[in-house]
């Protein structure tokens, strides 16, 4: 007699959502669709998803032969390229955890991260071996280092147990059956940049990664289809290149990987070569590309959309991309803790029909949440939800199936907060507004907002205003100590080095003049300091803490 299933349980197949399914799907249905990589060896490499699948399977066999077991952490220190892509699939697909390490972190942080994750093998681009050489003795969990370069170009190194990637793959079969893992199995580990304290690990699961990819490719999100040619200019060592190595195979899209070529000239060449139509990255990358295009009178007609996140999109960037290049700036908000995509401002008909100024304003917001992500702003004192009126500013909290519920091997709990209905939210550390149409606007990081006489001045808004002044390459605002107002804003400016004549060079007076009708009078910075360069974090964001430490007493001392 057959056993009847419970009538309250859905009667559908419990097919787990696994990372290996993404590459299997792409290989089977879009096998010839290409992954185009700028190699560190100098040339351009092209192959199809079918080739990528077979090499990922070789890698999975190689890892098994090396004794890697499910749940083991395997580190990568690498740029965006096809071998790194194979690591994403070979490692996670066989049930181990792909731990992407940001090579731009300080040496002590890299050492800390590898020790904390207890990585057993490291897959490394040859150019990053010099990072490991001085710290190798202290990386006791690491059993071997696999160098991702052609066999005949293996560099000399003082490291031991070094294996060439191509040699390793050639020794193993491309026959491999992916294990049917539980969907909650850990797949990938990324550490936050650690602007305060040690970096913290965020451990994504197979299911959270696939759901994030499902949501992110939708028309009102990144709008990726099988004929999209997409290039992540955000590195694969930073929050999985915002999910693109998963989203592209799920969509059968062409994936373009720029290697270490994140500068203006390299980007231009690759865009032109591969006819890229969608790119993603932080604002500074695009400022660099635009500078190069302007200097050389070039254009990039294939590009339709540039997705910008990681920091606020300055209005001037929205306007330049639109007016000078016919490109839509797609604003994005997210963080390592949210996989990272959470809110986006897509180019829908309603938005495109708005008067230019209103449209630009929305394009420099952080967009609207994707299905699956809930966002709310909370009052710090009362823990109540604030109005979505575009005015009320509160602590931004998020929840959803690709938002973390705890940090990896950490007892930090203060950022997980219950609301009055008992739901748990992740407190992002951002202060934001949400308007009646659900557009999110990040006012500031809670620790960066300038607290002047009990009111908040958004350092981001001030920077955006200053950024619009001709001759300004980069602007940064911090709050510094003030006897009467507690804190007042101090503006740092990097001037355009191309303007050499003293008479044409930007001075304080010109900046103040420019800002007069752009910001409230009480927001006016108390001083403006011209600097040659500004400090940045490993992910290219302004390192405000360094400036705050140095200039905290500046106004008090110069009073
Ligand atoms: P990502 O991981 O991609 O840079 P991090 O975890 O390093 O993310 O930093 C996330 C923080 O970056 C956010 O909490 C927010 O302060 C800032 N950020 C990201 N996107 C935006 C945006 N569109 N506007 C303003 N700030 C942003």
**Structure confidence by residue, pLDDT tens digits, 455-501:** 889 999 999 999 999 999 899 999 999 999 999 999 999 998 776 66
pTM summary value:
0.91
The structure tokens listed for 278 are 């969608």
Task: Mark residue 532 as left, alpha or beta (left: phi above 0; alpha: psi -120 to 50; beta: remaining).
Answer: alpha
User: Closest Cα to atom 4, ligand 1: which residue?
Assistant: 310
**Does 1 score more than 60 pLDDT?**
no
Tell me, in angstroms, the distance from the centre of ligand 1 to residue 403's CA: 14
Is 425 catalytic? The answer is no
pLDDT at 156: 96
- Determine the Cα angle at 386 with ends 383 and 392, to 5°: 125
Ligand 1 pocket: which of 308, 309, 407, 540 to mutate (most atoms within 8 A of CB):
309
Mean pLDDT of the chain: 95
CA distance 432 to 366: 10
pLDDT at 396: 98
Burial class (CB in 10 A: 0-12, 13-18, 19+), 559: exposed
Q: Would you say 339 and 403 are in contact if contact means Cβ atoms under 8 Å apart?
A: yes
Q: 107 by DSSP, 3-state: which?
A: helix
- Pinpoint the residues of the chain covered by CATH 3.40.50.12780: 19-37+44-204
Nearest CA-CA partner of 538 in 108, 99, 80 = 108
Q: Which of 192, 195, 305, 320 is catalytic?
A: 192
Is 319 catalytic? The answer is no
**Does 454 score more than 90 pLDDT?**
no
pLDDT at 543: 87
Q: Which residues in 458-535 belong to E strands, given as ranges?
A: 472-482, 486-495, 527-531
Lowest average pLDDT, out of 389-398, 423-432, 542-551, goes to: 542-551
| Of the options 1.10.10.10, 3.30.300.30, 3.90.650.10, 3.40.50.9100, the CATH number for the domain spanning 450-557 | 3.30.300.30
Ligand 1 pocket: which of 335, 393, 434 to mutate (most atoms within 8 A of CB):
335
| Domain 19-37+44-204 part of CATH 2.60.120.1130 | no
- Determine the Cα angle at 357 with ends 352 and 363, to 5°: 60
Q: Which residues in 394-457 belong to E strands, given as ranges?
A: 394-399, 416-418, 424-434, 440-445, 450-452, 455-457
CA distance 153 to 143: 22
Domain at 375-445, CATH class: mainly beta
Tell me, in angstroms, the distance from the centre of ligand 1 to residue 548's CA: 20
Lowest average pLDDT, out of 132-141, 365-374, 417-426, 448-457, goes to: 448-457
- Pinpoint the residues of the chain covered by CATH 2.30.38.10: 375-445
User: Closest Cα to atom 5, ligand 1: which residue?
Assistant: 335
CA distances from 53 to 23, 180, 228, 396, 479 (A): 6, 17, 20, 40, 51
pLDDT tens digits, residue range 277-323? 999 999 889 988 999 999 999 999 999 999 999 988 888 899 999 99
Q: 474 by DSSP, 3-state: which?
A: strand
Is 409 catalytic? The answer is no
Q: Of 76 and 557, which is predicted with more confidence?
A: 76
As for ligand 1, residues whose beta carbon falls within 6 Å of it are 192-193, 239, 309-312, 331-336, 340, 366, 428-430, 442, 445, 539
Other Cβ atoms less than 10 A from the Cβ of 527: the count is: 15
pLDDT at 496: 84
Q: How confident is the model at residue 195 (pLDDT cuts 50, 70, 90)?
A: low
The mean pLDDT of 166-170, rounded to a whole number, is 98
Ligand 1 pocket: which of 310, 362, 446, 463 to mutate (most atoms within 8 A of CB):
310
Is 192 catalytic? The answer is yes
The mean pLDDT of 53-61, rounded to a whole number, is 98
Q: Of 155 and 5, which is predicted with more confidence?
A: 155
Residue 218 phi/psi, 5-degree rounding, is -65, 160
Q: Which of 86, 111, 166, 337 is catalytic?
A: 337
What contacts 48, CB < 8 A, 6 or more positions away?
Answer: 27, 30, 31, 32, 33, 34, 35
pLDDT tens digits, residue range 366-385? 999 999 999 999 999 999 99
Q: Would you say 396 and 373 are in contact if contact means Cβ atoms under 8 Å apart?
A: no
């Amino acid at each position: 007699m057959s056993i009847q299933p419970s009538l309250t349980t859905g009667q559908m197949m419990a097919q787990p959502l696994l990372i290996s399914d993404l590459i299997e799907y792409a290989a089977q249905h879009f096998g010839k669709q290409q992954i185009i990589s700028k190699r560190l060896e100098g040339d351009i490499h092209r192959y199809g998803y079918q080739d990528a699948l077979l090499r990922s399977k070789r890698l999975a066999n190689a890892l098994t032969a090396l004794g890697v077991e499910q749940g083991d952490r395997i580190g990568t220190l690498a740029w965006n390229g096809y071998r790194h892509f194979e690591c994403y699939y070979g490692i996670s697909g066989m049930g181990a955890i792909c731990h992407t390490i940001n090579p731009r972190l300080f040496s002590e942080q890299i050492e800390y991260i590898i020790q904390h994750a207890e990585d057993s093998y490291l897959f490394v681009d040859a150019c990053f071996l010099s990072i490991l050489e001085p710290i190798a003795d202290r990386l006791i969990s690491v059993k071997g280092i696999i160098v991702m370069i052609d066999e005949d170009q293996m560099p000399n190194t003082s490291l031991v147990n070094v294996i060439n990637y191509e040699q390793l793959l050639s020794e193993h079969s491309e026959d491999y059956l992916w294990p049917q893992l539980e969907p909650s199995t850990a797949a990938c580990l990324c550490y936050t940049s650690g602007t305060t304290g040690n970096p913290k690990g965020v451990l994504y699961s197979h299911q959270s990664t696939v759901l994030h990819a499902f949501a992110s490719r939708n028309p009102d999100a990144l709008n990726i289809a099988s004929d999209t040619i997409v290039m992540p200019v955000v590195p694969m060592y930073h929050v999985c290149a915002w999910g693109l190595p998963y989203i592209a195979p799920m969509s059968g899209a062409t994936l373009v990987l720029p290697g270490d070529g994140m500068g203006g000239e390299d980007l231009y060449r690759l865009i032109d070569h591969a006819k890229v139509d969608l790119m993603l990255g932080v604002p500074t990358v695009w400022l660099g590309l635009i500078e190069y295009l302007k200097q050389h009178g070039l254009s990039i007609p294939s590009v339709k959309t540039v997705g910008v996140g990681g920091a606020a999109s300055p209005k001037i960037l929205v306007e330049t991309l639109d007016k000078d290049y016919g490109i839509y700036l797609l604003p994005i908000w997210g963080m390592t803790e949210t996989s990272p995509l959470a809110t986006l401002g897509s180019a829908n008909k309603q938005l495109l029909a708005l008067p230019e100024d209103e449209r630009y304003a929305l394009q420099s917001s952080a967009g609207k949440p994707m299905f699956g992500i809930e966002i709310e702003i909370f009052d710090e004192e009362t823990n109540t939800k604030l109005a979505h009126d575009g005015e009320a500013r509160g602590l931004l909290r998020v929840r959803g199936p690709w938002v973390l519920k705890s940090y990896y091997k950490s007892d930090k709990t203060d950022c997980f907060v219950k609301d009055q209905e008992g739901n748990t939210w992740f407190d992002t550390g951002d202060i934001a507004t949400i308007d009646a149409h659900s557009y999110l606007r990040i006012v500031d990081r809670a620790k960066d907002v300038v607290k002047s006489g009990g009111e908040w001045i958004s350092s981001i808004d001030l920077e955006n205003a200053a950024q619009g002044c001709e001759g300004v390459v980069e602007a940064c605002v911090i709050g510094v100590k003030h006897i009467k107002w507690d804190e007042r804003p101090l503006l740092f400016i990097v001037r355009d080095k191309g303007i050499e004549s003293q008479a044409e060079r930007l001075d304080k007076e010109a900046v103040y003049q420019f800002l007069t009708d752009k910001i409230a009078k009480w927001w006016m910075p108390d001083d403006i300091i011209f600097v040659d360069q500004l400090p940045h974090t490993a992910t290219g964001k302004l390192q405000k803490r360094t400036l705050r430490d140095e200039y905290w007493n500046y106004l008090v001392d110069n009073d």
